[in-house]
Structure 1
Amino acid sequence: MRVGGLCLVLLVLLAGAGLTALYIKFDRNISQIDIDGALGHDRPADSPNGSMDILVLGSDSRAGTDGEYGRHSGARADTAMIVHLNEARDAATVVSIPRDTLVERPSCGGEPARKRTMFNEAYSVGGPVCAVKTVEKLTGVRMDHYLEVDFEGFSRLVDTLGGVEVTTTQAIRDEDSELDLAAGTHTLDGEQSLALVRTRKALSDGSDLGRIRLQHSFVRALARQVGGIGLFTDPRRLYDIADTATRSVTTDSGLGSAADLAGLARTLKGIDPESMTMLTMPVTFDPKDPNRVVAIERQATQVWSALRADRPVPGSATEGSAAEPRPSEREVIARE
C-alpha cells in the first residue's frame, strides 16, 4: 500500500511537472506589454460592478514597443473592438470603432496631442499603449485588458481549427486579395478567412463600415465553430490550438500568461454566440471629408454609459448611424 501510494504521488507530480512545462512553453510564446505601468493613474475609473472591458485589435504587426509607448512605425491596426463582458459572464457586447473615425488623439510616444486624426493613427504613433489611451479618452471607459491578434497568426489559428464554415448570401470577389466566393456555403481556410474579414472593395458600398458588419457576422460564425469542436476530447488538437494562439497574440501584463488566457477562454466559452450583441460606434460622415466619419456624440455617449453601468445598449443609440445597414441591404454572411 505504501509503495502504491508513493507511485500514485509520483505520477501526480510527474503529470504536474508536464503541465507546468507546457504552461512555461506557452507563457514564452506570449508577447506582453505593461500597459498599466505605462499609463499610470491618469485613466478613467474602473467600473465597480464586476464587468470586464477588453480592447481587441487586429494588426499586421506583433512587434513590441520601443520605449515607453512602443512606437510602431508603419504598423496598422485596421480592426478595433471593445469587448464588454457583463458581471454575470453570460453575455457580451462588442463595439467596433471604425479605423477611419476622426478623433482627438492624446499625446503618445513623444508626439503631442492632435485633433481630427484617424483613429488607427494612434497605433502607428505609439503602439498598444497609445491605442488604449486613445480609446479611453474617446469612451471614458477603462480598458481592463488588451489583446492584439496579428493577421498571420489569425490565419494560422483558423487553419488549426480546421477552417470556418460560412454561408454567403452573395458572390464576393476581391481582386486585391484574390478572394473569389460564390453565393453559398463554404469552409474557409485561414488565408480565405483573413481575406474575407479585410475585404472592402468587394462589398456593395466599398466602405470600412460595410467591412465591420462583415466582421461581426464572421465573429459569430467563428464562435459557433470553436464552441462545437470538443477540444478536451482531442488533446493533440488542444495543444496545437493553444500553441498557435499563444504565438499569435500580444496582451497586457494582466493576460500575459497561458493560465490567464485559459481563464478568459473558459469565460468566453460560457457565452452563447446569440448572447453577443455586436454593434459599431454611432457615426456620421464628416462634413469636411466624406471619406472619414465622426462619432455622433449624443448617441455614442449612450453606448459608453451603458458599458460603464453594465447595461444593454439601448436601440436608440444606433438609430440613424451611418454604420447601420440600409433597409435594402442584407447580411453578406447568413445567420445560421
Structure 2
Amino acid sequence: MRRTFAVLTVLTLGLGGVAACHGSTSPPKAAPPASPSPTALPTDPAAALRWAAGRTKAAGSAKIDATSQSPAGGTPQVVKAALSWSGEGQLNGVITGSPGLTRFSSDGTVPILITGGVMYVRMTDPKALAQSQGRSWLKFDFAELAALAPGSGGADFGNVMGSLLKQLSPDVELRALAGSTGLATVGPEVTDGVRTTHLSGTLTPQQLLDAMPGLTAGQRAEIVQQDQQAGITSETVDVWLDVRGLPIRTEDHAASNLGSFDVDRHFSDYGTQVNLTTPDAADTLDLAAVLKACGSGCTGGGSGGATGGSI
C-alpha cells in the first residue's frame, strides 16, 4: 500500500553511511506449506482475504521489490529489500530513483536499514559526507523524534513515521481489502511465474486506517490530516494470492487532488532471514539528538536542514 512504501520513500532528509558494530538477525520462519491446488483458497473473496491475512502474518518475512510512481511522474522510485514484520519489524535494502536522495549518493543507490523502530540511511556522496563531519549514517529514532516539542517538524515526522512502521506487514492491507467496496475475484492468473488468484476492490482512507494495528490517537489524527490535505478519496487495490494464501503481488492506485499515486509490490521467498548490522554509534548522526541540541536554531525540522541547514 502507499503508506508502506512511504516508509521507504519519504527519505528526502539527511545523511547516511558505513556499517560497523553489533549485528541483528530476524529468525527465519517457515512459510506456510503449499496447498495442493488453487481450490484451497476460499471461494468467497472476503473469506479468502481474511484467511490469506492470517497466513501472511504467520509467514513473518519476505523479499520485496516495490515500485512507486507519484502523480508528478518522473523517475519511478524502487525499493528492493528483505523485510520482516515479526515483532517491531526489520528491513535491509536499497532505494533508487528518489530525487531527494540522489544528492546523498555517489551512484543513485541508497542503502536503508530499519530495526527496533529506528531507521538508518546511508550516504556515499563525498560532499554530503564532508558536511556530516565524516559520519556516514543518519539515525531516525521515531519515538525520540515524536517526543520533541509538539508542532515541530521533527515531532510531526516522528509521529507519522512511527505509525508507518507499525504497518510493514502486507496482512494489514489484506484485512482492509476484505471489507472493501466492490470486492471481486477477477480469476486465476500466472504472476511472476506463480499460479495465483487475482482479487480486486476499492478502499476508503478510513477503511485502511481501521485495519492498522497499534496506532495512538495522535498518529491516527496525523494520517487523517495527511489524507485530507492530499485529497485522497479512495484506493483501488489488486492482490494476487498463491495457493498458500500468500500475496505474490499487490498493486495500489490512490486517487488524490494531484492524480494517482501508484505502487506495485512483488513478494518472494517468504520466511527469509533478514540480516543487518546496526551502524556504529561513532559513525552515526542521531537526528533526534541534533534537534534537541540546536533547538530553535535548527532549520527544516525533520528534513536535511535539521543538521543546521548545511545539507
Q: Is the structural similarity TM-score above 0.5?
A: no
| Structure that is richer in strand per residue | 2
Larger Rg: 1
Q: Given the two structures, how large is their TM-score scaled by the length of structure 1?
A: 0.28
Q: Given the two structures, how large is their TM-score scaled by the length of structure 2?
A: 0.29
